[in-house]
Amino acid sequence: MPPPSVTIYISRAGFLAGEVVYGTVELNFRALEEERVKEVRVKLRGHAATALKHSDDEESQTADFICLDQSLWMPGTHYPPPESDFLSIPTAPLSPLSAITSKRSGYGQACSRGTGEASVPSSYIFTPDEAGSLRIRRAFWGDYGDVQLELKRPSAIIYPVLSDILFVITIATIGKPIKLKDNKKPWPSPPLEPSAVHFELKRIFRVQVKEWSDTSTGILTSLGGMGGSYASVSIETKEDQWLPDDEDKNKGRWRKEVSFSSSFRLKHTPTFSSPLITLEYFLHVRVHFGGLRNSLSMDIPITVGSGVAPLTGDAARDNQSDEALPRFEDLDIPPLYWNTKHILAVKEK
């Protein structure tokens, strides 16, 4: 098969939202002349397409978010070197990419992904997220106990995929009043095993189609060795504290506290938002203490990033950055997300 008249070599297979796109176009002048090509233009297109079906009705919608053109060659403007039919012409940077939805067309695709360069610092500054206190009791009658839940995590703006994210979950309880001499087991008490604490990645996916919309919410996976997932977890239990009653010193409440420390890695599609499609993530923590509705939970919104550094325009540095891209087999996302081609063969007349 003869070489095509136009071959596009793009700078990388994937691009970050907001960065430039650049590459090189190789022109086959023998083929251009045979096909009587009058102009070669580089076009960058992107759109998001959604569809929803309600009963027997179905609606679809497409929104364009990229539409950039660049005239690259016309007869008489550039010529190949002597004794050659081929000439490589660098494209001018095309920018910006305003969204991260991918587009597939022709012999390959150029897709953008991620939300920017991100890393979790090696020196952690933890941000506490408190769910506050909840008063609970075993049944519809009886004395109340108090429970408190706190999650500490790195104060990073973006959590990149395949990075170790440290966390500490602290659960404190103040049991219902009892007499000290009764030696009764305090209730409620914090769980002592990681499997009893649910720490999960929650996803909310929204789709808009004209006047229709749909939202899907679900738990993707357990994290950091909690709730039955597999990872090493450190457990720290504080010494129980007796809190005597102000009026009756023989009566009081036991305060108990336990902390679980570990780390987790995110392996899912980065957070993104467009007029038609939105993907959000939350860290979901839940602890049940027994009895009816005696659960304390919290949802903390997080931004998941690709961990890919933006292009600099320096080919050597950008190639080194590409070598560090995550492998799709390490991520819990469809392989097509990474299935891009650096070489696109295109004909334009």
Q: What is the rounded end-to-end Cα distance, in angstroms, of the chain?
A: 20
pLDDT band, residue 87 (cuts 50/70/90): very high
Mean predicted confidence (pLDDT) in 245-263: 92
Contact assessment for residue 108 and residue 42, using Cβ atoms and an 8 Å cutoff: no
Instruction: Answer with the residue of higher pLDDT: 55 or 77.
Output: 77
Strand 108-112, strand 14-15: pairing: parallel
Q: What percent of the chain has pLDDT over 90?
A: 40
pLDDT band, residue 118 (cuts 50/70/90): very low
According to the model, what pLDDT value does residue 234 have? 97
According to the model, what pLDDT value does residue 313 have? 57
Q: Per residue in 174-205, pLDDT tens?
A: 999 998 888 788 889 999 999 999 999 999 99
Contact assessment for residue 307 and residue 114, using Cβ atoms and an 8 Å cutoff: yes
What pTM value is reported for the model? 0.73
pLDDT band, residue 95 (cuts 50/70/90): low
According to the model, what pLDDT value does residue 42 have? 87
3-state secondary structure of 2: coil
Max mean pLDDT among 98-107, 119-128, 315-324, 327-336 falls in 327-336
Question: For residues 154 and 264, what is the distance between their CA atoms, to the nearest angstrom?
Answer: 12
According to the model, what pLDDT value does residue 119 have? 40
pLDDT band, residue 327 (cuts 50/70/90): low
Nearest residue to 11 via CA among 22, 2, 19:
22
All structural domains of the chain: 6-113+308-346 (no CATH), 126-304 (2.60.40)
According to the model, what pLDDT value does residue 114 have? 32
pLDDT band, residue 349 (cuts 50/70/90): very low
According to the model, what pLDDT value does residue 315 have? 57
Strand-pair partners of 204:
217, 280
Res 166 pLDDT > 90: yes
Listed in sequence order, the residues at least 6 apart from 160 whose beta carbon sits closer than 8 Å to its beta carbon are: 118, 119, 120, 266, 304, 305, 306, 307
Max mean pLDDT among 51-60, 127-136, 263-272 falls in 263-272
According to the model, what pLDDT value does residue 122 have? 40
Averaged pLDDT of the chain: 79
Q: Per residue in 287-314, pLDDT tens?
A: 999 888 899 999 999 999 877 666 655 5
